[in-house]
Amino acid sequence: MKNCFTLSDEEIAKKFSKVKDGESIRELPLKRTGSGKYREDRPYMYFPFFYNKDSGELIVIPEDKYRRIFDKDTLSFNDDYLDSVIKEYLERGYEAVLPLSSKGEKFRWRWGYNSCVRGVENGSLFCKPVKGGGYAIYQYDLAESEVTPKSLWFGEKYDASSKGTNLLEAILPNNPFDFPKSLYTVEDNIIIGSNPDDFVVDFFAGSGTTAHAVIELNKTIEESNRRYILIEMGNYFDSVTLPRVKKAVYSSDWKSGKPQSRNTGASHMFKYMKLESYEDALSNITLDEQKHTLISMFGEEYLINYMLDIESEGSLLDIDAFTSPFDYKLKVTENNETKKRNVDLIETFNYLIGLTVNTASTTVYFNAEKDDNGEYEGAVRLVKDR
């Protein structure tokens, strides 16, 4: 029994929309996109084709030259050598075709070297010009009535490229996130796996597709009042995850980073917190030099067991800091630079031990100046308890 779907005539005509030699075909780019697309992911699948636009001849780089592009001993690419080969063929009337992105990034081919040689020989690979100049290599793919499913989520809206990568690119152009999930795959998973008032938790938030899906479901389904909790430790949180959530709230339709409809937003509030890392904790430990002599006597074993109790006592969290809990600062490392950042002790200890603030006094001075004694004069003073 075959594990495949049978396509209808309409689906075949849509998928294989071109005709060659009387057969339905489609043209697939040979350049790899999506996950694992960079040349470093598969070094032996990065090499040039050469195309002569006058004769229409397409060839693959000769094998002896191909083997020198990537040095397996040093695990490095010999780009200087490749440039010299490209220059040699250019003088003979051939243009080099490499798997490069629109930004000039070095990708790889979907096929290996020997398969590409055979593809050129049997005519299943061909070259054609692309918009903006240059050429690209394509594969003729013959129509089949049966298709092996990549997943049970079968249909265009579950396609991770068009409904994941391209959708995110429309919201956040030139974002660094690679191969996000289809928004609609996540939406349907949430519908199947949760009730309208549930919390949806994603421990690997990535680009924020889960939050986006919950926001859209709450916009479009009247009874949906789902909430989401995301956890993410990737460096792209500030550049991808957070701005995507903000934009998903503001509008449902985006193009080139600009909203296409401003009446599809939602009333929405979300909150995000950054947790102190282990490295940040170490950065905030200071040693009392007067108590530090025992370390040299007893070595690292003493350091591990007693440093926090004796030499650095009080440095990680000074109790006096609670007199001004909203002014407390920690040293935090960002982009290899240590900076001081405010930490909300009230909320921190609310989460840690359930500490609840009953009353906080706020003093506001209007048009106030300090006199020689440091007192405010000529001011209206407002004290508010909350």
3-state secondary structure of 364: strand
Asked if residue 267 belongs to a domain, the reply is no
| 93 shares its domain with 211 | no
What does pLDDT average to over the chain?
A: 81
Backbone φ and ψ of 261, nearest 5°? -150, 125
Q: Where are the alpha helices (DSSP H) in 6-67?
A: 9-15, 63-66
Mean pLDDT on 304-330:
65
* CB 261, CB 252: distance < 8 Å: yes
pLDDT tens digits along 18-72: 666 656 667 889 999 877 899 999 999 999 999 999 999 999 999 999 999 999 8
Residue 228 inside a domain? The answer is: yes
Closest CA to 248 of 335, 187, 198, 336: 187
The DSSP code sequence of 82-102 is: HHHHHHHHHHTT-EEE--B-T
pLDDT at residue 293 tops 90? no
95 shares a domain with 12: yes
Which of 80, 112, 147 lies at the terminal end of a domain, its last residue?
Answer: 147
Q: Are 38 and 128 in the same domain?
A: yes
Whether 254 is in a domain gets the answer: yes
43 and 177, same domain (yes or no): no
Q: What is the pLDDT of residue 120?
A: 95
Domain final position from 117, 147, 177: 147
Both tokens of residue 7?
């396509």
- Residue 299 scores a pLDDT above 60: no
Q: Are 191 and 183 in contact (CB under 8 A)?
A: no
- Shared domain for 17 and 141, answered yes or no, is yes
Strands 57-60 and 70-71: unpaired
The token pair that represents 259 in the structure block:
């909203």
The domain of 140 spans: 5-147
Distance between CA atoms of residues 227 and 266, nearest Å: 14
pLDDT (0 to 100) of residue 78: 95
Q: With contact defined as beta carbons under 8 Å apart, do 86 and 23 qualify?
A: no
Pseudo-torsion of CA 191, 195, 197, 200, nearest 10°?
Answer: -60
What's the pLDDT score for residue 239? 93
CB 99 within 8 A of CB 69: no
The CA-atom distances, in angstroms, between 62 and each of 49, 59, 89, 117, 351 are 10, 8, 11, 9, 65
Structural domain ending residue among the three candidates 93, 123, 147:
147
Interatomic CA distance for residues 293 and 37, integer angstroms: 55
**Does residue 360 belong to any structural domain of this protein?**
no
Same domain for 165 and 114, yes or no, is: no
The count of other CB atoms within 10 Å of the CB of residue 168 is 23
27, 78: one domain? yes
Residue 161: band (very low, low, confident or very high) from pLDDT cuts 50, 70, 90: confident
- Looking at the structure, do residues 10 and 143 belong to the same domain, yes or no? yes
pLDDT value of residue 316 = 60
Specify burial of residue 211 (Cβ count, 10 A radius: 0-12, 13-18, 19+). buried
- Look at 18-32, 75-89, 271-285, 367-381 and tell me which has the smallest mean pLDDT: 367-381
Better-scored residue on pLDDT, 273 or 109: 109
265: in domain: no
Do 76 and 54 share a structural domain?
yes
CA distance 38 to 232: 24
16 and 133 assigned to the same domain: yes
| Residue 128 forms part of a structural domain | yes
Q: Is residue 266 part of a domain?
A: no
Sequence-ordered alpha helix ranges (H) in 108-176 = 113-122, 166-171
Query: Radius of gyration (Cα) for the chain, nearest Å?
Result: 31
Which residues have a Cβ under 8 Å from the Cβ of 257 and sit 6 or more positions away? 170, 171, 172, 173
Backbone angles phi, psi at 319, to 5 degrees: -60, -30
Query: Do 113 and 15 lie in a common domain?
Result: yes
Task: Say if residues 163 and 183 touch (Cβ distance below 8 Å).
Answer: yes
Residue 169 backbone dihedrals phi, psi, to 5 degrees: -65, -35
Residue 140's DSSP bridge partners are: 27
Phi, psi of 118 (to 5 degrees): -65, -40
**The predicted structure's pLDDT at residue 35:** 78
CB atoms within 10 A of CB 341: 13
| DSSP state for residue 194 in the 8-state scheme | S
Strands 227-230 and 199-202: parallel
CB atoms within 10 A of CB 177: 20
Summarize the confidence of residues 241-267 as an average pLDDT: 94
Total structural domains within the chain: 3
In a domain, 383, yes or no: no
Cα–Cα distances in angstroms (integers) from residue 224 to residues 99, 161, 221, 248, 356, in the given order: 45, 27, 5, 16, 32
Find the distance separating the first CA and the last CA of the chain, reported in whole Å.
71
User: Is there a single domain that holds both residue 127 and residue 170?
Assistant: no
